[in-house]
Amino acid sequence: MSHNHEPTDTPGPAGVRNVVILGGACAGLTAAIYAARANLQPLVIEGAEAGGQLMLTTLVENFPGFPEGIMGPDLMQAMRAQAERVGAAFITEDAVEADFSHRPFRIRTQSGEEVRARAVIVATGARARMLGLPSEERFLGRGVSTCATCDGFFFRKQDVVVVGGGDSALEEALYLANLARSVTVVHRRDQLRASKIMQERAFTHPKIDFIWNSEVADIAGDGKVTAVRLRDRVTGEVTERRTDGVFIAIGHKPNTEIFKGQVETDAQGYLLPTHGMMSSVEGVFVAGDVHDHTYRQAITAAAFGCMAAMEAERWLQGEAALTPVEHWGTAEPVGESKAGAPKGGPGKGARKTARP
Ligand code: NAP
């Protein structure tokens, strides 16, 4: 655990912070930069493994501003340094408990520290579901990927395997088919879960073929992926298939366990923004992959972080007009008010994440 409490890192006299940001990756760090520059003195509970999914990525070539690309961990380090320079404070621990039933909100960290906040920005992200093979972990970033948009470019004119049978798998397969020489979708059943339209597109694509009733038993390689071993779930037979890359597309899981039952979510557990970036709990904002299962990009997560911070600031300003507060730097008690349904957030109407 490391605390980085800068001199500006002073909660108000009642120990209540203006903004606590949960999550220290693209969305959370961008929110921290904006909140700090608005003099909100944000505290980022960045997680024990801060940096999010970009920490598992190698070269990022689609984040604007880096003509030669930038390594995922370097981008995260730069964003964190920027947030720190403008005054954000950090706790490098997981948030293990959140109580949004009353204001100020309460968040407990792994070591038992309790943090209280007027506003919270939830930017805890999502994680790709993995197969659970040791070899998959070993080759992550060396031929195994969970994001075709991020890594597909490295597999131009090569042969790749996509694992999964849902819309994500077919979306990845169709994206990769524009770049790779061949795309083989490996699915554990003989029927796809994906929508009919996606199935039709994939079935008619000349570069995409399917292996049914099969699971990946192992991934082989020497420094980088060279083959997958597939087990036929009907016959039990194991065969080896040469490949340059394996894209795991068996779904994502939002990191929302500690907010369960407190904030409105969709059926998969993604938080639902209801007014701009505000969640169903007034004063709790959402940003990044924890609510966005459509775009899932570093740049979109960063943009959502910016939006959430700006909305949190405006909301706090509105609250301050109702509650006596001297200035942002000294957060005074806001009293124990019941957090209920939003009265109407700062955004103009609900944002709908339409599928592209
Ligand atoms: P999903 O619909 O849950 O599909 C996951 C797929 O992975 C299923 O085919 C499942 O197999 C397979 N799978 C799960 N665990 C596995 C394992 N351990 N080993 C092998 N295979 C495994 O997830 P998704 O495709 O990410 O989609 C999530 C939601 O987002 C869905 O509602 C989807 O419609 C939506 N979405 C829509 C679009 C679009 O419209 N363009 C794009 C992406 C996602 P089984 O089928 O046997 O369970």
Across-strand partners of 278? 275, 285
CA-closest residue to ligand 1 atom 23 = 251
pLDDT tens, 27-52? 999 999 999 999 999 999 999 988 88
Q: What is the pLDDT of residue 10?
A: 56
Tens-digit pLDDT profile for residues 121-130:
999 999 999 9
Tell me which of 26, 94, 151, 167 is the catalytic residue. 151
Cross-strand bridge partners of residue 162: 185, 247
| Active site annotation includes 266 | no
Alpha carbons within 13 angstroms on the beta-carbon side of residue 80 total: 23
Q: Ligand 1 atom 17: the closest Cα is on which residue?
A: 131
DSSP per residue over 194-207, as a string? S-HHHHHHHHT-TT
Question: Which residues touch 334 (CB under 8 Å, ≥6 apart)?
Answer: 16, 103, 104, 118, 319, 323
pLDDT at 2 over 50: no
Residue 331 pLDDT level (bands cut at 50, 70, 90): very low
CA–CA distance, 297 with 149 (Å, rounded to integer): 9
**Region of poorest pLDDT, from 53-67, 69-83, 200-214:** 53-67
Residue 272 has pLDDT above 50, yes or no: yes
Q: Name 165's Cβ contacts closer than 8 Å, sequence gap at least 6.
A: 185, 187, 188, 189, 191, 192, 193, 194
In the block, tokens 């320079």 appear at 85
Flag whether pLDDT at 346 surpasses 50. Answer: no
Amino acid 322: pLDDT = 66
DSSP string spanning 184-195? Answer: EEE-SSSS--S-
Active site residue 222: no
Say what percent of the chain tops pLDDT 90: 78
Residue 348: the pLDDT is: 31
Closest CA to 241 of 201, 188, 183: 183
Q: What is the pLDDT of residue 330?
A: 41
> If you average pLDDT over each of 47-51, 290-294, 352-356, which comes out highest?
290-294
Whether 166 lines ligand 1, by a CB cut-off of 6 Å, is: yes
Quickly count: other Cβ atoms within 10 Å of residue 80's Cβ.
Answer: 23
Are 308 and 316 within 8 A, CB to CB? Answer: no
164 lines ligand 1 (CB under 6 A): yes
Residue 279 has pLDDT above 90, yes or no: yes
Residue whose tokens read 């960045």: 46
**pLDDT (0 to 100) of residue 334:** 38
Task: Please give the pLDDT value at position 35.
Answer: 98
Map residue 324 onto helix, strand or coil: coil
Expressed in angstroms, the distance from the first to the final Cα of the chain is: 40
Residue nearest to atom 34 of ligand 1 (CA): 167
Structure tokens at 338: 């019941």
As a whole number of angstroms, the longest Cα–Cα distance in the chain is 73
Distance 307 CA to ligand 1 centre (A): 29
Q: Is 26 a catalytic residue?
A: no
Where do we find the tokens 């699915």? 187
Average pLDDT of the residues of the chain:
88
Model pLDDT, residue 91: 97
pLDDT for residue 12:
54
**Would the CB of 168 count as within 6 Å of ligand 1?**
yes
pLDDT band at residue 75 under the 50/70/90 scheme: very high
Burial of 196 from C-beta contacts in 10 A (0-12 / 13-18 / 19+): exposed
Phi-psi category of 81—alpha, beta or left, where left has phi over 0 and alpha has psi -120 to 50?
Answer: alpha
Split at pLDDT 50, 70, 90, the class of 218 is very high
Q: DSSP readout, 269-312? A: S-B---BTTB-SSTTEEE-GGGT--S---HHHHHHHHHHHHHHH
pLDDT score, position 14? 60
Residues 6+ away with beta carbon under 8 Å from 195 = 167
Domains defined for the chain, CATH in brackets: 16-127+252-327 (3.50.50.60), 134-248 (3.50.50.60)
